[in-house]
Copies of this chain bind each other. A is one copy, B any other.
Amino acid sequence: MSLLTSRLGAAVAHLAAPSVVARAHCDLPCGVYDPEQARIEAESCYKIIEKYAANEDAAFRTRAIAIKEERADLVKHHLDVLWHDYFKPEHLGTVPNLHDLFWQANKQASKVKASTDLADAKKLLDLIDDVDAAWKATGGQEKTRVVRQTA
């Protein structure tokens, strides 16, 4: 399923889901969630793979592999928090492919751990952008972030 179809589907589902009641949900830590956290770590993986390809020094490559492993793990952690705690049953109307999207994204993060192919990191970024779209489509940005004040 392309991202476009998914977004169209989400929009339609949004219109067609009048009876889903969004109950106030107060959890701790805090109710602050943002897929940007996963994105930043996935960008690290992307750049590490770029640098790995450009540098054949054995010690450099060992560091690159070890650090990529950690970064991809952080991607998974941030994705898991979103799936466990931000997304709730009332969002399934807006994001019908929610579970599959997160499953794919996490499996892709596992793949990036094992891979030195830039296309794998690129696909991970795309999946995180789909998660970001789902977060925005469900009002995540307005509901969870603290508004930045401008002078």
Residues of A participating in the B interface, judged by any CB pair closer than 8 Å:
1-4, 6-7, 9-11, 26-32, 34, 36-37, 40, 43-48, 51, 58-67, 69, 71, 76, 80, 83-85, 92, 95-101, 103, 106-107, 109-110, 113-114, 116, 125-126, 129-130, 133-134, 137, 145-146, 148, 151
Contacts and interface: CB of A to CB of B under 8 A. Distances in A.
Nearest to A55: B26
B63 A63 contact: no
B28 A64 contact: yes
A44 B29 contact: yes
A124 to B, nearest CB: 11
Contacts of A51: 26, 28, 30
By CB atoms of chain B within 10 A, which of A1, A43, A114, A148 has the most?
A: A1
A127 to B, nearest CB: 9
Contacts of A40: 32, 34, 36-37, 145
Nearest to A10: B97
A62 to B, nearest CB: 4
B44 A130 contact: no
Closest 3 pairs between A and B when the two form their complex, measured CB to CB: A99-B99, A3-B133, A30-B44
A32 B68 CA distance: 12
B61 A62 contact: yes
Given A3-B134, A151-B2, A113 B63 contact: yes
